[in-house]
C-alpha cells in the first residue's frame, strides 16, 4: 500500500513538493485554507480586471525551466513568456530612467553617467555570473540541515570570491561611484528582504539574474504559473482539499500521524508544512514538540510587510512601463523606517506594476490595471483604512505628477491589502510579506530547519526555510523538502 503524505499549503513550495512526491508513487493530499491554489500568489478578479495578488516579477527563468524539465515539460507547455524591454523604469526626483534589457545599451547608459563604468560593469557581471553558477550548483539546492552539506573543495578554494563577509553595498561601491548606478545595482537585493548594507555580497548574483537573465512576464499574469503547477500536480495524481484549514497536526510518540482539519481528520505517514513556519509550530503543534520558542522568532530579522493597492483605472495611463520603481524619495530614510526604527514612513518609496500595458487581457478595453506596493516594517500597529487611504492619495499624486494623468478621478475599482491582511489571510508572522531577510546570520543552516528535530516525519518548506524568499527559491524549497520526505518514506517500505 502506498505511503501517504499530507501537505499543508498550496503555494509554490507546496505545489512543487506535491509533484515530486506524487511522482515517487506516494499518495499525496494537499490541504489549503483558501479557495484555490497559489497561497500568496493568488489572483483577484473584479469588474473585468484580473489582478495578481502577490508576486509580480518573473526572474530566474532557468529555475522554472529546470523544474518543468524534471517532469518532461517546458514552461511553454503551460504559458507564454515574453521578455520585457525595457526591463523596468525608475523614477527619480527629476525624471526617469528606463533600464534596457540589452546589456550593451545598459553599459552605454552607465558610461554616460560615469566614465569607465561600462568596464566596471563587465567585471562586476563576470563575478556575478560565477556567483550565480556556484550559488545554484553548490548552495541553493541544499536543505541546510548540516554545515557538512557545504563541504566542497571547489567552494572552499574560492571562498573569498563569494564575498560572504562583505555587504552588497560595499561591493557595489567598490565598482561604481555614481549614486544612480549604485541604486540600480542595489535594487535587486531588496527582493531578499534586507538592507544592502546587511546583505552578503554573494547576492550580487541577483544582478546577473536581473541584467543577463532578464525580466519576463507570463501572459495572463503570474497566476498562470500557479495554474501550470496545479495542472501538473493533478496530472501526477495529487488530491487537493480547498477551503480546508488545518487546525492541528496529530502527534504520537514524536511522530506525526495525521491532521485535524475544519472538515475532519486525515491520517498520514508524513506531513510537509508549507504554511507560515511560525504559525505551524506555534499554533498547529503541541508545545512539547516545538523546535523554536517564541523568543527565537522575536529575534529573527523579518522581511518587510507591504501596503498593496489593486486599482482599476477607467482610462489608459501614459508614462508608465510594466514595472515602475519610484525612487523619488529619500531611500535611506525609508529604509531606516523599515529596518532601524520601525515606523510608518512619511514619504515612502513604492513600486507600480501596470501589466495591462503588456497584456491587455488583464483589464477591460481602454482601461489600466495597476498594482501598487509600499514596503513597510513588519509588526507595525495602526494598519487602518484612514492610513491606507492617506498613503494611496500620496502615491497617486506622485504618479500623476510624472504621468500627467489625474488618477484619483479615474479609479473605477480599488481593493487594499495590508499587514493585518497578511496575518489574517496567510497567518504571516507579524504580517511579513517575504519571510526572513537573507542576512548572513539567517543563511543556510542558520534558517529554520526543513526537517523537525522533535517530530521525525515532519518537514517544512517555503519562504522561511532554505533557500529563501521569492518564487524560484520557493520552487527549490519544495523540491528539497520533497527529497527529505521521500528519503524518509522509502525507509518505511
Backbone angles phi, psi at 15, to 5 degrees: -65, -45
Binned at pLDDT 50, 70 and 90, residue 188 comes out as confident
Q: 223-236 vs 61-69: helix axis angle to the nearest 10?
A: 20
Q: Which of 468, 283, 306 is nearest to 395 (CA)?
A: 306
Q: State yes or no: pLDDT of 493 exceeds 70.
A: no
Burial class (CB in 10 A: 0-12, 13-18, 19+), 385: exposed
Return the pLDDT at 163.
85
Return the pLDDT at 285.
98
Q: State yes or no: pLDDT of 30 exceeds 80.
A: yes
Domain ranges of the chain: 4-41+222-299+437-492, 104-213, 304-426
- pLDDT higher for 395 or 439? 395
Cα separation, 422 vs 79, in Å, equals: 28
Listed in sequence order, the residues at least 6 apart from 474 whose beta carbon sits closer than 8 Å to its beta carbon are 11, 12, 13, 16, 461, 462, 463
Q: Do domains 104-213 and 304-426 have the same CATH topology?
A: no
Backbone angles phi, psi at 365, to 5 degrees: -55, 135
Return the pLDDT at 440.
84
Q: State yes or no: pLDDT of 154 exceeds 80.
A: no
Q: State yes or no: pLDDT of 189 exceeds 90.
A: no
Listed in sequence order, the residues at least 6 apart from 403 whose beta carbon sits closer than 8 Å to its beta carbon are 317, 318, 319, 320
Cα separation, 305 vs 308, in Å, equals: 10
Cα separation, 382 vs 371, in Å, equals: 22
User: In the chain, what percentage of residues exceed pLDDT 90?
Assistant: 89
Binned at pLDDT 50, 70 and 90, residue 162 comes out as confident
Q: State yes or no: pLDDT of 158 exceeds 80.
A: no
Per-residue model confidence as pLDDT tens digits over 1-13: 899 999 999 999 9
Per-residue model confidence as pLDDT tens digits over 305-350: 999 999 999 999 999 999 999 999 999 899 999 989 999 999 999 9
Backbone angles phi, psi at 379, to 5 degrees: 85, 5
- pLDDT higher for 430 or 138? 430
DSSP codes, 164-215: TTSBHHHHHHHH---HHHHHHHHGGGGGGTS-GGGSBGGGGHHHHIIIII--
Return the pLDDT at 8.
99
Q: State yes or no: pLDDT of 287 exceeds 80.
A: yes
Q: State yes or no: pLDDT of 153 exceeds 90.
A: no
Q: Give me the CATH code for the 104-213 domain, please.
A: 1.10.405
Query: Is 296:277 a contact under the CB 8 Å cutoff?
Result: no
Query: What is the chain's mean pLDDT, rounded?
Result: 96
Return the pLDDT at 194.
81
| Backbone φ/ψ region at 97: left (φ over 0), alpha (ψ -120 to 50), beta | beta
Fold type of domain 304-426: Guanine Nucleotide Dissociation Inhibitor; domain 2 (3.30.519)
Q: State yes or no: pLDDT of 190 exceeds 80.
A: no
Cα separation, 252 vs 88, in Å, equals: 52
Q: Which of 278, 463, 307 is nearest to 377 (CA)?
A: 307
Backbone angles phi, psi at 421, to 5 degrees: -70, -35
Q: Which residues pair with 108 in a beta bridge?
A: none
Per-residue model confidence as pLDDT tens digits over 209-253: 999 999 999 999 999 999 999 999 999 999 999 999 999 999 999
Fold type of domain 4-41+222-299+437-492: FAD/NAD(P)-binding domain (3.50.50)
Return the pLDDT at 217.
99
Per-residue model confidence as pLDDT tens digits over 427-453: 999 999 999 988 888 988 999 999 999
Cα separation, 399 vs 392, in Å, equals: 10
Amino acid at each position: 500500500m502506498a505511503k501517504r503524505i499530507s501537505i499543508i499549503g498550496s503555494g509554490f513550495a507546496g505545489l512543487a513538493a506535491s509533484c515530486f512526491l506524487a511522482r515517487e508513487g506516494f499518495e499525496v493530499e494537499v490541504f489549503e485554507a483558501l479557495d484555490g491554489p497559489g497561497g500568496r500568489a493568488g489572483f483577484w478578479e473584479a469588474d473585468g480586471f484580473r489582478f495578481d495578488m502577490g508576486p509580480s516579477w518573473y526572474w530566474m527563468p532557468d529555475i522554472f525551466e529546470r523544474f518543468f524539465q524534471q517532469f518532461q515539460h517546458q514552461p511553454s507547455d503551460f504559458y507564454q513568456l515574453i521578455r520585457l524591454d525595457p526591463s523596468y523604469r525608475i523614477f527619480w526626483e527629476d525624471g526617469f530612467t528606463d533600464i534596457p534589457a540589452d546589456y550593451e545599451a545598459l553599459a552605454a547608459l552607465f558610461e554616460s553617467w560615469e566614465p569607465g563604468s561600462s568596464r566596471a560593469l563587465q567585471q562586476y557581471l563576470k563575478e556575478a555570473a560565477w556567483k550565480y553558477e556556484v550559488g545554484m550548483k553548490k548552495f541553493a539546492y541544499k536543505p541546510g540541515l548540516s554545515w557538512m552539506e557545504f563541504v566542497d573543495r571547489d567552494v572552499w578554494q574560492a571562498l573569498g570570491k563569494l564575498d560572504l563577509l562583505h555587504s552588497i553595498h560595499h561591493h557595489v561601491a567598490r565598482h561604481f561611484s555614481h549614486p544612480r548606478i549604485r541604486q540600480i545595482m542595489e535594487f535587486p537585493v531588496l527582493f531578499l528582504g534586507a538592507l544592502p548594507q546587511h546583505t552578503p555580497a554573494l547576492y550580487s548574483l541577483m544582478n546577473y539574474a536581473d541584467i543577463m537573465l532578464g525580466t519576463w512576464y507570463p501572459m495572463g499574469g503570474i497566476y498562470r504559473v500557479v495554474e501550470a503547477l496545479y495542472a501538473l500536480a493533478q496530472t501526477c495524481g495529487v488530491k487537493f482539499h480547498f477551503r480546508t484549514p488545518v487546525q492541528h497536526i496529530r502527534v504520537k510518540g514524536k511522530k506525526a500521524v495525521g491532521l485535524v482539519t475544519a472538515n475532519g481528520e486525515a491520517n498520514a505517514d508524513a506531513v510537509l508544512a508549507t504554511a507560515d513556519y511560525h504559525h505551524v509550530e506555534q499554533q498547529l503543534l503541541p508545545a512539547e514538540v516545538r523546535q523554536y520558542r517564541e523568543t527565537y522568532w522575536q529575534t529573527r530579522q523579518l522581511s518587510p510587510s507591504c501596503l498593496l493597492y489593486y486599482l482599476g483605472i477607467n482610462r489608459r495611463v501614459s508614462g508608465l512601463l510594466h514595472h515602475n520603481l519610484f525612487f523619488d524619495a529619500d531611500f535611506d530614510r525609508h529604509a531606516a523606517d523599515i529596518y532601524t526604527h520601525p515606523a510608518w514612513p512619511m514619504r515612502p518609496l513604492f513600486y507600480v506594476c501596470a501589466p495591462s500595458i503588456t497584456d491587455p487581457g488583464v483589464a477591460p478595453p481602454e482601461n489600466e490595471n495597476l498594482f501598487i506596493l509600499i514596503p513597510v516594517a513588519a509588526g507595525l500597529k495602526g494598519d487602518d483604512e484612514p492610513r491606507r487611504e492617506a498613503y494611496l492619495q500620496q502615491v497617486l499624486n506622485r504618479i500623476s505628477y510624472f504621468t500627467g494623468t489625474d488618477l484619483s478621478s479615474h479609479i473605477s475599482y480599488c481593493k487594499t491589502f495590508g499587514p493585518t491582511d497578511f496575518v489574517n489571510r496567510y497567518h504571516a508572522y507579524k504580517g511579513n510579506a517575504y519571510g526572513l531577510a537573507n542576512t548572513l546570520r539567517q543563511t543556510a543552516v542558520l534558517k529554520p530547519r526543513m526537517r523537525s528535530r522533535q517530530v521525525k516525519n515532519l518537514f517544512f518548506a517555503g519562504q522561511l526555510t532554505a533557500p529563501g524568499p521569492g518564487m524560484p527559491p520557493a520552487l527549490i524549497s519544495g523540491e528539497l523538502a520533497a527529497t527529505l520526505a521521500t528519503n524518509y518514506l522509502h525507509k518505511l517500505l
